[in-house]
Structure 1
Amino acid sequence: MKKLTYLFYLIVSILVLLSISCREDFDSVPNSGQLSFSQDTVYLDTVFSNTSSSTYQFKVYNKSSNTINIPKIELGKGQESFFRLNVDGLPGKSFDDIQILPKDSIFVFVEVTADIDALTADETQFIYEDEVLFDTDINQQKVDLVAMIQDAVFLFPQRFEDGSKESLLLGLDENDEEIRIEGFFLDQENLHFTNEKPYVIYGFAGVPPGETLKIDPGARLHFHANSGLIVANNASLKAEGELSADQNLLEKEIVFQGDRLEPGFENVPGQWAAVWLTAGSTNHIFNHVTIKNSTVGILMDSNDGGEEPTLSIKNTQIYNAATVGLLARTGNVEAENLVVNNCGQASVNLSYGGKYNFRHCTIANYWSNSFRQFPALLIENSIQTPDGVLVEDLVEASFSNCIIYGSENIELILNRAEGAAFNYSFKNSLLRFNDINNTYADNPLYDFEDNNLFESMILNETPLFFNPSANSLKIELDSGASMIGDDDISNLVPLDLLGNLRINPSDAGAYNASAQPED
């Protein structure tokens, strides 16, 4: 009986296969030039020379009732084209006899990797075009391909014969083992970044001990994943941009960002590591700089021991850091017209003591990519190490004519450890501190009636930022920060971030209040 059952199923299976093989829709007809496409031109976003683009796609439709055979699909420039295709799962630049079932479609994927030196010797940008050709002669149809190729200066660690890469020594661990990161020291000819071409950096580019990296107005620095800048002992970083006439182009601003140029990566946090100002580095200047989409914007490891600020940061914006925008450990920082927003933890973390003076700064946090446990501003005089908690004097942390605000009820945390000084003050500033559960009601650190700590403060009034989720932190005319500034402070910082003259009484924050711009 079992043998008969098996024989029955075997016969049925053979009959089914025979019936499928005789179906008319598996008999293809030649293409007659009636294909349809999801788009007639594929625009690939700007890509650096000799760097692969993202993958783009379009669809090819067969809207007829017959299976169509396309005898040839190929790139117009053939095998010499800088474009690459994948047609219905097959990689290459030329394809024969591609079939599309009735009322069906196939995907065509497109990438480009171009050498700008092979295109032009004079231009730093070049539009590179090709086309995907479907069929030949009178039945031929096409989809155009357009890419912008950007020349750049590429900086990267050396690869050795054993396959390892150049690295930088950070120090020794508790077992006296070397701690290294993939990176390299910049040589003398690369210690001056100009605005002639963008710079694309792989690994950590190090400023050697005793040297200075100078960055010109309008320079663009692009970092690959897990890459950054690191400044060694007694070395300096001077990023001195200028006010731009066009705030959309930021043509004179110095910009630090990732190396993915597609619009989808415009505001993605964590694309690169950090600008790391190590212990012993000195005399750093940031002016008219934008730092975005890093893991940490600026990591400053300690005061250089001098009387002057180790870091002077003015007219600078730090956005979309995956963890902290400005992280200073025992730093000495003077900040004016600084804007920090949208960071995964604190926007500004003054950790392990130090000396800090913030005037007309906007410290905000409207992070929405995940749950946020930290406030916009976190001030501490201690640090957790494997050997326990270490403390250091917080000599000064003063905030005058500032805005400290965000999407959480509490946007300021003061974390004082015993055994070290903890000096701070807030003056003529707008602060979000909405203690709805009275968690801090009996904590003397938050005694807003104490004028030695909090003078002329405005609490919990909305700043009316234009669009904080999009990092537009300009304020409207009836903002809670409008006309609350101290004249003596605004006289020290007479121009706002956009170069507008402050009029006393001034507005708090980095921007003068203005009317809502048109959409």
Structure 2
Amino acid sequence: MRRFSYGFIVIFILFLSIFSCREDLDYQTASHPLRFSKDTILLDTVFSTIRSQTYVLKVYNQQNEDVTIPLIYLDKGINSQFKINVDGTPGTHENNNRFVNVPIKAKDKISIFIEVAPKSIDSTSLVADEDLIFNTLGNSQKVKLLTLIEDADFYYSAGGNIKINSDLVWDKSKPKVIYGNLEIDNGSKLTIEEGTPVYFHKDASLIINNKSKLFVNGTLNSKVTFRSDRRNARYDSLAGNWKQIKLMHQAEATINYSLLKGGENAFYLEEGSKLNITNTEIYNFLYSGIYSEGGNVVGQNLAMNNFGFAALFVENGGNYNFTHCTFANYWNLTTGTTYSVYLSNKQQNSAENIYKNLSATFNNNIFWGRSANNLYLDNKNLKLFNYKFNTNLIRNSNLNINTDSNFNNTILDKDPLFNKTGYSNTVLSLKPNSPAKNNGNPNFSVTVPLDILGVDRALNPSLGAYQ
């Protein structure tokens, strides 16, 4: 009797386990229209062979019964430029991106995860336009998927470093995408022509080695852009998505009409390197816009904003001359003091105290941001520390600007009234009632007769990059 009872119990449990796993036996075929969180999904512009971030589509069962969706599929099947995952089940070559009898509980939802997974393309760009189709009983519904796929020139090495040992010219025929470190070496020259977009993968850098040169030849209406390869516009407002453009000892760079966003440092200069930079915007960097360890910089018509430390950070001395530049810093993403400009003749990270000569001149500029002390002078008095600030607007409560003969004709602690200072949309042009309007010294503007937008500033020049 015990043997019979034991056997009966085992069979009964087995029966229950089998049928409890067959929830679909209680599901009806969906007969009412489904509801979607979006009817069109616009995905990032991506480069051929490089996947996008993941997007989510919610699919809602509006019926009071548990139902199955008979068929969900991409209309181009295995030839699709997209990949989908339906509630945890990925689309594969085997299932041809087709999903059969997908269950949804009553008044519940499922999630569909969508990526661009582009195949190589035959043209410079391709609009990927496809329908994600849902078949229910007597009904068919569609969600539109759209993206732009671009061909690009990739600079990638499994070892993380690529060295270019001969002169190279980049033009706008294709975007340039850098993985790891791309080094211009052996005294070679990289020339980047107007309108060329340059994209950096996470942690990527462009390095100009000893005695090599970089020329960026943007124009007012066709700038050269440097930014992350994450193409969604929100990544422009996030710092730290790539590393930097680094000028090694005795390297040189001449930059005109460029736009840089979203890295760690826009430019990093080693001692003895040279940077001549004009008509350039630099926004949203984790550390600095220009980070110089004893370099040499001439800057005109620069507009800079949002840095974790300083728009211009100088240590170990060097030579600097800036005219009609806007050094703003409205950074508020981390704690600690931030600056528009930080000048030091000390080598900050050295095991011993090392000091180098510093010479810096600033004419017709603006220094402004969240911090009350936007300008910091770290003078150790053990080496030459020459500085001149001629006709500038400065926010600072730490320096004795009014009694320091190195400051001439300073507008102190008056808000310059920029138009926009946010991370996603910085416009550092001046409002009509700005105290920086028409208060520049014409003797300095003669050397920079047009502002960053090409506006004549010969008469009554305003301070900063914008007339």
- TM-score, with structure 2 as normaliser: 0.91
Higher mean Cα deviation, 213-222 or 475-484? 475-484
**Structure 2 matches for 1:41-440, cutoff 5 A?**
41-92=40-91, 93-117=97-121, 121=122, 123-135=123-135, 138-157=138-157, 159=158, 165=159, 182-186=160-164, 188=166, 191-244=168-221, 252-282=222-252, 284-304=253-273, 310-394=274-358, 396-435=359-398
State the Cα distance separating 1:264 from its structure 2 match: 2.6
Closer, same or farther in 2 for the Cα pair 1:137/1:354, shift >3 Å? same
SS in structure 2 of the partner of residue 488 of structure 1: helix
What displacement does 1:212 show? 0.7
Q: C-alpha displacement at 1:265, in angstroms?
A: 1.4
Cα separation, partners in 2 of 1:401 and 1:95, compared to 1, 3 Å: same
Shift in CA distance, 214/426, structure 1 to aligned 2, threshold 3 Å: same
SS at match of 2:148: strand
Distance 1:24 1:275, change over 3 A: closer
Shift of 1:482: 1.5
Secondary structure at the counterpart of residue 295 of structure 2: strand
Separation (CA, whole Å) in 2 of partners of 1:347 and 1:372:
15
Of the three residues 489, 497, 512, the one matched with 2:444 is 489
1:459 is displaced (CA, Å) by 0.2
**Whole-Å separation in 1 of the counterparts to 2:25 and 2:403:** 84
Change (3 A) 1:62 1:384: same
Deviations 1:117-170 (A, max 9, x none): 2xxx3x31211122222227843222221111111111112x3xxxxx1xxxxx
Q: Tell me how far apart the structure 2 counterparts of residues 22 and 424 of structure 1 sit (CA, whole Å).
A: 79
Are 2:403 and 1:449 aligned? yes
Partner of 1:266, secondary structure, is: helix
Q: Which AA in structure 1 matches 2:208?
A: V
Aligned pair count?
446
Unaligned segments of structure 1, at least 5 residues? 1-9, 160-164, 166-181, 245-251, 305-309, 441-445, 513-519
- Give CA-to-partner distance per residue, 1:417-449, whole Å, 9 cap, x none: 1321110010110000134xxxx5xxxxx3422
Deviation at 1:24, TM superposition (A): 10
User: What's the RMSD between the two structures over aligned residues?
Assistant: 2.2
**1:264-285 CA distance string (max 9 Å, x none):** 3131111000000011213x20
Identity across the alignment (%): 35
Distance 1:303 1:263 in 2: 36
Instruction: Decide whether the 8 Å contact of 2:177 with 2:200 is kept in 1.
Output: yes
CA-CA distance at 1:23 after TM superposition: 13
The CA deviation at 1:187 is 5.1
Q: For 1:342, what is the secondary structure of its paired residue? A: strand
Q: Which runs of 4+ in 1 moved over 3 A?
A: 20-26
Q: Following the alignment from structure 1 to structure 2, what is the Cα–Cα distance between the partners of residues 393 and 272?
A: 31
Report the Cα distance in structure 2 between the residues aligned to 1:353 and 1:301, rounded to whole angstroms: 11
Higher relative contact order at CA 8 Å, sep ≥6: structure 1 or structure 2? 2
Inter-CA distance 489–23: structure 2 relative to 1 (3 Å threshold): same
Residues 1:352 and 1:296: Cα distance change in structure 2 (over 3 Å): same
